[in-house]
């Protein structure tokens, strides 16, 4: 593994994100929905830096089902999320790669009648976007490489690393 972002850089980036989001919402109540599983570390660190009235929920998304490593259209489980009708909602995810997950989730959430839906990601990967959606808040721009750490995994490993690293993956 080759380190890409140190724990200190991530800490600074999360602080920047929290400040940017706090200024944007300027004391308005906010519902933060973290996209499981990768965003749990980011969500925990982010909300501790925000001085806003917050509600927090988690959304289960599955794009990889069965033995195939190829992603399928994402499926969303919103059954345990707080009511978002008439609320400002911020979707928080670990990485914006092709954008299919966040784009689909934004579309699905808009059906629930929120006042607004915006997005925040720790990482935005260059050259992979396949949707019109562009994240509203981005911690870091990264090259098109497979990364792990700070919530990101490879085969359910490495989520606990306090930094982000590039890893060579076995496609087989």
- Mind telling me the catalytic residues? 97
| Straight-line distance from the first to the last Cα atom of the chain, in angstroms, rounded to the nearest whole number | 19
Task: Using alpha carbons, select from 64, 138, 46 the residue that is nearest to residue 101.
Answer: 64
The rounded distance, in Å, linking the Cα atoms of 25 and 28 is 5
Task: Using alpha carbons, select from 130, 139, 160 the residue that is nearest to residue 95.
Answer: 139
What is the secondary structure of 139-167 as a DSSP string? EEEE-SS-EEBTTB-BTTBSTT-SSEEE-
Cα 162 versus chain centre, distance? 16
- Given a contact cutoff of 8 angstroms between Cβ atoms, the answer to whether 54 and 30 are in contact is yes
Structure token pair of residue 164: 């982000």
């Amino acid at each position: 593994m080759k380190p890409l972002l140190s724990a200190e850089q991530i800490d600074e980036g999360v602080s920047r994100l929290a400040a940017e989001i706090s200024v944007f919402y300027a004391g308005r109540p906010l519902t933060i929905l973290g996209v499981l599983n990768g965003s749990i570390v980011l969500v925990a660190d982010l909300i501790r830096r925000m001085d806003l009235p917050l509600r927090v929920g988690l959304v289960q998304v599955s794009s990889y089902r069965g033995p195939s490593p190829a992603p399928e259209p994402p499926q969303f489980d919103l059954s345990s999320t707080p009511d978002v009708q008439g609320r400002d909602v911020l979707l928080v995810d670990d990485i914006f790669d092709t954008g299919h997950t966040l784009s689909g989730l934004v579309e699905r959430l808009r059906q629930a009648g929120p006042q607004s839906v915006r997005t925040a990601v720790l990482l935005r990967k260059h050259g992979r976007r396949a949707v019109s959606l562009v994240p509203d808040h981005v911690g870091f721009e990264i090259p098109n490489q497979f990364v792990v750490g700070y919530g990101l995994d490879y085969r359910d490993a490495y989520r606990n690393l306090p930094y982000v690293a590039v890893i060579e993956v076995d496609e087989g």
